[in-house]
Amino acid sequence: MLLHSGETLRRSAYAVLEGDAPESARGPGILYLTTQRLVFEAADRRIGRGRAPVTLMDAALAQVRNVAVRRSRIGHDRLLVELTMGRPVFDVLDPPAWTTAIAAAKRAGPPASGGAALAPTVIERQVVKVRCRYCGSLANEVDGRCPRCGASL
Ligand SMILES: [Zn+2]
């Protein structure tokens, strides 16, 4: 899973792709939600291809029409994703948390480029004055030496 520039990961979990996915694409993998996309990667199980992860779904959040929890009378609930190009169903832990997170990511949209950034933080350093033991002048503690007589503070 490679993130684009300016993209950050919001959530990821082990998931099993089911439902409308083609037979060859069904199976376990990792579901990723970023600030820009919903991605599902699975290990390629075809012979001779090793275990390199294969991207089975890479949808921009704009392509996500809706997300829902599909209740199941037997077994546990599923995460149903309605894309412009299909309706994959994921068996993932806590589907309601995923629907909430995906909806929130969609609302937030891609982060503004060029940085409508945070206000810069100004840290004011506090300078402590100390009185020299030898000549009585005030000196900055951080300087370590008296500016008048040179004695160490
Ligand atoms: Zn001094």
Work out the percent of the chain whose per-residue pLDDT is above 90: 37
Measured in Å, residue 125 CA sits from the centre of ligand 1 at 23
Measured in Å, residue 123 CA sits from the centre of ligand 1 at 30
pLDDT of 115 higher than 60: no
Quote the DSSP letter at residue 53: E
pLDDT of 8 higher than 70: yes
- In this prediction, residue 82 has a pLDDT band, given cuts at 50, 70 and 90, of very high
pLDDT (0 to 100) of residue 121:
47
Measured in Å, residue 135 CA sits from the centre of ligand 1 at 4
Measured in Å, residue 126 CA sits from the centre of ligand 1 at 21
Tell me how many degrees the CA angle 64-29-53 measures, rounded to the nearest 5: 100
Is the entire prediction scored with pTM above 0.85? no
pLDDT of 41 higher than 60: yes
- In this prediction, residue 49 has a pLDDT band, given cuts at 50, 70 and 90, of low
